[in-house]
Amino acid sequence: QYYQQTQLHNNIGLCYVYQRLFPEAFSQFQQQTNSTTYINLGVYHQLRKEYDTALTYFNAALEAVKDHPLDTATIHSYLGLLYCDRRQWAASLKHYEHALEMYKN
């Protein structure tokens, strides 16, 4: 039941993000704290060009899933996108390569 409720808040929040209704999205994301929520909050702040805050949430997501390689690889992909948005190509490539290596393993 907790998982379903968490997914519901995250899905509603993502719908708001894609519509650029940021206050409503943030309200939904704040109701839960798990790795998916941290990722969504990272995306939320990245779209608002609040890159340092986005990085904080992506790092929190990494910490939450540190024992799960596939989830960790996914978050490294998001970090690659974040650094690409910031035009930090070397950092972006590093995260993409790390994610690729994890997916291969």
How confident is the model over 5-35, as pLDDT tens digits?
556 666 777 788 778 787 887 777 776 667 7
* pTM score: 0.74
- Assign 59 a pLDDT band (cuts: 50, 70, 90): very high
- Quote the pLDDT of residue 2: 46
Residue 103 in tokens: 């997916």
Residue 44: what pLDDT? 86
Q: Name the CA radius of gyration of the chain, rounded.
A: 14
d(CA 105, CA 27) in angstroms, rounded, equals: 37
Angle between helices 89-104 and 69-85 (to 10 degrees): 160
Residue 31 confidence (pLDDT): 66
Most confident of 10-24, 62-76, 85-99: 85-99
CB atoms within 10 A of CB 41: 26
Please state the φ and ψ torsions of residue 19, each to the nearest 5 degrees.
Answer: -90, 0
